Amino acid sequence: MTERLLVLTRHGESEWNLKNLFTGWKDPGLTEKGVEEAKRAGRQLKALGLSFDIAYTSALSRAQRTLSLILDEIGQPGLETIRDWRLNERDYGDLSGLNKAETAAKYGDEQVHVWRRSYDVPPPGGESLKDTVARVLPYYVSDILPRVMRGERVLVAAHGNSLRALAMVLDRLDEKTIPTLELKTGVPLVYRLNADTTVASKQVLEG
């Protein structure tokens, strides 16, 4: 029986998560807590007896480091890994590096809420969630999903918004619900797919 296993993990806490800054395509490292979150994710996957045939991550170091720490924990440090910018976090443009509270004071709470939680309104110089979905989903369909459907066990370490794009398809969320989906740092989502690419089961490995 074909397993069709897909595990998605948001990177561990970054230095800018801790400082409440818009991060986007900027490249801060993990905090000590973020390192521990990644290691814990690896231990949780190992406890389930999971191993992988291929891994995917973004072009950003916080996701790459998270993946590396997970692979160390499950005993697969040399696993073939594909890094691709299309799995990058949403680009926050002119907001990147700004404190979220200070940005709200400058532009107003309502405007910042629209930029953060609307589906199709981009921040100045950046991407909307819709824009992010438009680059992530074709990559998923062309590169990642075919491997899963062949029975390869696939691990993806990426970002809140790029993983929202995947969850939109996997969890069948619409444009109204997807911006409100919260994906915690360092928490693996274990999907097993049916033969028609729909989700057979989903497990969230919290705590």
Provide the 3-class DSSP secondary structure of residue 131. Answer: helix
Say how far apart CA 65 and CA 19 lie, in whole Å.
19
- Where does residue 161 rank: exposed (0-12), middle (13-18), buried (19+ CB within 10 A)? buried
Centre a 10 Å sphere on the Cβ of residue 200 and count the other Cβ atoms it contains: 11
Say how far apart CA 55 and CA 72 lie, in whole Å.
13
Active site residues: 11, 89
- Where does residue 107 rank: exposed (0-12), middle (13-18), buried (19+ CB within 10 A)? middle
Inter-residue contact 93 to 125 (CB < 8 Å): yes
Inter-residue contact 168 to 178 (CB < 8 Å): yes
Say how far apart CA 96 and CA 68 lie, in whole Å.
25
